[in-house]
């Protein structure tokens, strides 16, 4: 073995160091975590004789030095059983904190079973605790078609969004914006679903759409002619206005100058009132 060929910097070295400072350097000239320059010679002898050596750095990390061939040795850092459990529990604790403080609902699904969920998702549906939804089937909350779309979404991109409906415990319909991704947790394929409650936004949009439609129907069916202008040009005319102008369709009036329909002796009055922007009744011919 003549020198370092590759390395995993965060775990191999006790101090911050760049990759370029390590690659190609003799192993005796660098300091690996748990392997001092002083005991490197003894370790080399052991590996030459047995083909490998393993020893513990602390109660969490172990080092395996293995001879692959005459030119290549492998130095691998591995979690001990207690270290792995400690590291795994730490990751789980961090994940739990992240999901608990998130405003969005978070689900972990295997197959169609909810194996974990945060409180936000449970409470958005009217439940008191996340334990009220953990262990239940996702189909208890979303339709089969929604689940299929969520699964397809996870395979395409975690940044894509999908809207789905669910029901509150009091019977109200809820709307969620959903993103999903697949990962491996506890050695098992797991679907991670993030849900944002957009019910209020959806209700507002629906109310706005209904108001627009109601206004359109009111204007369209008005007995009086109604014209919407932009910079003096017709952008909209209702049926009554079309009849007044003697056309069959409002497209015949679109983008025409309203002044072109005012007779010459009334144009000066029309221009005067338009510039003054007075909102009152006027008569033109």
Express each pLDDT in 71-85 by its tens digit. 666 666 666 666 666
Residue with tokens 């998130």: 102
Return the ∠ at Cα 262 (arms to 260 and 266), rounded to 5°.
135
Looking at the structure, tell me whether residues 140 and 56 fall in a common domain.
Answer: no
Between CA 104 and CA 137 the distance in angstroms is: 20
**Do 153 and 176 lie in a common domain?**
yes
Tell whether 208 is covered by a domain. Answer: no
> Does residue 176 surpass a pLDDT of 70?
yes
In a domain, 264, yes or no: yes
Which residues, 6+ apart, have CB-to-CB distance to 32 below 8 Å? 12, 13, 63, 75
* DSSP state at residue 131: G
Cβ–Cβ < 8 Å for 151, 107:
no
Determine, yes or no, domain membership for 207.
Answer: no
Number of structural domains found in the chain: 3
| Domain termination residue (choose one: 57, 79, 101) | 79
pLDDT of residue 261: 77
Same domain, 72 and 95: no
Residues whose CB falls within 8 Å of the CB of residue 280, separated by 6 or more in sequence, listed in order: none
Q: If you average pLDDT over every residue of the chain, what do you get?
A: 76
**pLDDT range class, residue 135, cuts 50, 70, 90:** very high
Long-range contacts of 178-187 (CB under 8 A, 24+ apart): 178/150, 178/153, 179/153, 180/150, 180/151, 180/153, 180/154, 181/154, 182/154, 182/155, 185/108
Regarding predicted confidence, which is higher, 94 or 21?
94
H/E segment holding residue 126: none
pLDDT in tens, 179-214: 998 888 777 888 999 999 999 888 888 888 888 888
Q: Does residue 94 sit in the same domain as residue 135?
A: yes
Question: Which residues, other chains included, contact 170 with Cβ-Cβ below 8 Å and sequence gap of 6+?
Answer: 126
User: What average pLDDT score do residues 128-134 get?
Assistant: 91
Beta bridge mates, 169:
none
In a domain, 4, yes or no: no
Whether 29 shows a pLDDT value over 70: the answer reads no
CA distance 57 to 35: 9
* Residues spanned by the domain of 46: 9-79
- Do 285 and 230 belong to one domain? yes
CATH number of the structural domain spanning residue 106: 3.30.450.20
Q: Do 74 and 90 belong to one domain?
A: no
Model confidence at 282, in pLDDT bands (50, 70, 90)?
very low
């Amino acid at each position: 073995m003549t020198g370092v060929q590759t390395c995993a910097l965060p775990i191999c070295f006790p101090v911050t160091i760049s990759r370029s400072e390590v690659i190609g350097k003799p192993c005796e000239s660098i300091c690996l975590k748990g392997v001092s320059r002083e005991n490197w010679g003894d370790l080399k002898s052991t590996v030459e004789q047995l083909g490998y050596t393993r020893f513990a750095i602390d109660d969490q990390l172990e080092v395996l030095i293995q001879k692959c061939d005459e030119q290549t040795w492998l130095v691998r850092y591995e979690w001990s059983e207690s270290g792995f459990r400690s590291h795994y529990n730490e990751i789980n604790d961090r994940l739990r904190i992240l999901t608990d403080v998130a405003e969005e609902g978070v689900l972990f699904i295997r197959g169609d079973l909810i194996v974990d969920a945060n409180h936000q998702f449970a409470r958005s549906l009217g439940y008191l605790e996340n334990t009220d939804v953990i262990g239940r089937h996702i189909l208890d909350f979303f339709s089969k078609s929604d689940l299929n779309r969520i699964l397809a979404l996870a395979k395409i991109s975690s940044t894509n969004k999908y809207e789905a409906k669910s029901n509150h415990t009091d019977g109200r319909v809820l709307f969620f914006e959903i993103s999903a991704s697949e990962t491996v947790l506890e050695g098992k394929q797991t679907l991670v679903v993030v849900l944002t409650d957009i019910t209020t936004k959806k209700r507002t949009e629906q109310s706005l759409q209904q108001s627009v439609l109601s206004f359109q129907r009111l204007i369209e069916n008005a007995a009086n002619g109604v014209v919407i202008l932009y910079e003096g040009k017709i952008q909209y005319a209702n049926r009554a206005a079309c009849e007044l102008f003697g056309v069959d369709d409002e497209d015949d009036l679109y983008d025409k100058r309203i002044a072109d329909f005012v007779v010459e002796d009334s144009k000066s009055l029309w221009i005067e009132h338009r510039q003054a922007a007075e909102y009152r009744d006027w008569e033109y011919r």
